[in-house]
Amino acid sequence: MTMTKLEKSTWQAYFDNVSKILGGKEAEVEISSLNIGNQIEAEWLPLMGLVYDPKSDVVEVLMEGLDHLIHKPSEIYIDHDAVRLVSLEVIDGDGVRQIIRLRDPLMLPYSGAMGGAQASGAGNAPP
């Protein structure tokens, strides 16, 4: 798998495209920070959509029974291979990592699947 940083200018379009093909894939949300350690916010709930609103600078993770908001995201990484999305990591302005893992990888459409993304090698994964 490859960790790829998404450019902020592509977040809204990337999430819109991924949301169109989610089809209720099951996902979990893990929150990781020095203050709270690692905590599971949601465990294997249907993922209904991912949204980035540039006006309010919020990433919204819409799950069945949960609307998880990530305020002031500073970086977004995706873990993928050539055609499958495995997970996303959103780092907010306070350095809190929020990881959205898909139970089954999501098959991405080939054209534009990686728009605005910069691949990083294993040694360049986010800290």
Q: Is residue 46 part of a domain?
A: yes
Q: Is residue 98 part of a domain?
A: yes
Q: Is the pLDDT of residue 113 over 70?
A: no
Q: Is the pLDDT of residue 124 over 80?
A: no
Q: Is residue 125 part of a domain?
A: no
**Whole domain around residue 88: which residue ranges?**
2-108
Q: Is residue 123 part of a domain?
A: no
> Per-residue pLDDT averaged across 79-107, rounded?
93
pLDDT in tens, 45-58: 999 999 999 999 99
Q: Is residue 118 part of a domain?
A: no
- Is there a contact between 88 and 100 (Cβ–Cβ < 8 Å)? yes
CATH of residue 10's domain is 2.30.29
- Tell me the whole-structure pTM to 2 decimals: 0.83
Q: Is residue 64 part of a domain?
A: yes
Q: Is residue 68 part of a domain?
A: yes
State how far the Cα of 81 lies from the Cα of 102, in Å rounded to an integer: 14
pLDDT in tens, 11-64: 999 999 999 999 889 999 999 988 888 999 999 999 999 999 999 999 999 999
Q: Is the pLDDT of residue 83 over 70?
A: yes
Long-range contact pairs involving 74-77 (C-beta distance under 8 Å, separation at least 24): 75/5, 75/126, 76/5, 76/6, 76/8, 76/11, 77/3, 77/4, 77/5, 77/6, 77/125, 77/126
pLDDT at residue 117, as a whole number:
54
State how far the Cα of 67 lies from the Cα of 58, in Å rounded to an integer: 12
- How many structural domains comprise the chain? 1
State how far the Cα of 79 lies from the Cα of 87, in Å rounded to an integer: 5
Q: Is residue 65 part of a domain?
A: yes
pLDDT at residue 1, as a whole number:
77
